[in-house]
Structure 1
Amino acid sequence: MDRLPFLDRNALIMMWQRLTVKPDVVQWYPYELNECGEIVANACPSARRQIVLTDVYVQLNERLGHLAAMSVAVTTLCFGIMVPDVVWMLPEKWEDFDRDDPVPFVPDLCVEVLLDSERQQNIAHRVHAYLEGGAREVIVVGPDGKVEFWGAEGLRQTSMFEVVLSLDSGYFEVDGAIAEPNGVRS
């Protein structure tokens, strides 16, 4: 089977814009576009995952300033248009584009929460796409609540942004079962 050619940023953003004005074409939420402009459907996040990613969003806003956002489409160099769970970037970067369109670059910090997510299977690809596209750090919250910090040099022991996440262990899987609530993981 022949693979479609890779699209550049502008072509990907134009494809995204066409899809958003035709909601009957895209019946999935959220969706992404691969590097060829093909729709990649993602399952809707569970309430448990939404609670955790909201908690991450709130903690980033408290630590780094109110410049984080949830489920923002970003344009990468090697994958197409992806939708990280949470992003953060410097204030001047928010001013440089039309915020109704996908961000035409990758923000400084991207977060993926892997609870009930099919993204576990391709998280290495996602982390690579964000870092190659300009992210300074990628935070991955695993299904067990383990928090990893990734940079261009690989896995880091701590966040370059001095982020420490305190997450309730009751939302995570321990040995295949949900942990007891109210325990805090960091």
Structure 2
Amino acid sequence: MDVPALLDRDGLLAEWRRLTARTKSGHGVYELDGRGEVVTNSRPSARRQIVLTDVYCHLSEQMGHLAAMSMAVVTPSSGIRVPDVVWMPCEKWEGFDRDDPLPFVPDLCVEVLLDRGTAQNIDRRVQAYLEGGAHEVIVVDQYGQVEFRGAKGRRQVSMFGVALSLDPIYFDGRRVPAAPGGTRN
């Protein structure tokens, strides 16, 4: 049985353009795996949207207004993925077609697992972002726990000095007290 080969960046972008030309569902609802096959995501719930906006606001306030929500990015090993929030320095925002996915992975990516079926494959997503050039990936789980991950694994604090104080009212069941730096353990 032949396994389809992984597409390179140009192949992924071509498939993305074909997909966006025939659908009106919007970015963030779908992604492409490494073979260019469509991966459909459900629309975020109202509480997940509030948490995504809160994370975006924290990043914008702490790092400058160079963050974006639900921006498609090309990863070298996992296709075109849509992190919940991304941040990168000003100079990286120049020189690419804004109608296409970012041709690279931004410096910081955030995944919020609340109401999302990606908990089982989050390690693969994190690795794809790090392999693609992210310096850090922040993962917020369904209980509000915040993990900072880098090329050498989990960190106690963000390398960017980011602290997230997320309201526990939006998270499932278990209340988790805030730890130093605003994270929840």
TM-score, normalised to structure 1, is 0.91
Mark the runs of 5 or more structure 1 residues left unpaired by the alignment.
Answer: none
Please identify which structure carries the higher strand content: 1
CA RMSD in angstroms comes to 1.9
**1:46 and 2:45 correspond:** yes
Map of 2:60 onto structure 1? 61
Q: Partner of 2:23 in structure 1?
A: 23
Q: Structure 2: any 5+ residue segments left out of the alignment?
A: none
Whether the 8 Å CA contact 1:57–1:68 is kept in 2: the answer is yes
Aligned to 1:7: 7
For the residue of structure 1 that corresponds to 2:77, the secondary structure is coil
Q: Matched residues, percent identical?
A: 61
Structure 2 partner of 1:71: 70
Deviation at 1:147, TM superposition (A): 0.4
Q: Between Structure 1 and Structure 2, how many residues are aligned?
A: 180
Q: Deviations over 1:103-123 (max 9, x none)?
A: 000000000000010010100
Distance 1:34 1:155 in 2: 25
The corresponding residue for 2:165 is: 166
Residue 154 of structure 1 pairs with residue 153 of structure 2:
yes
Q: TM-score, normalised on structure 2?
A: 0.92
Instruction: Give me the whole-angstrom Cα distance separating, in 1, the residues matched to 2:110 and 2:36.
Output: 23
Match of 1:129?
A: 128
Letter in 2 for 1:51: I
Query: Contact between 1:141 and 1:147, CA under 8 Å: does it hold in 2?
Result: yes
Moved over 4 A (4+): 26-29
Could you tell me which residue of structure 2 aligns to residue 112 of structure 1? 111
Q: 1:174 to 1:28 in 2, by over 3 A?
A: same
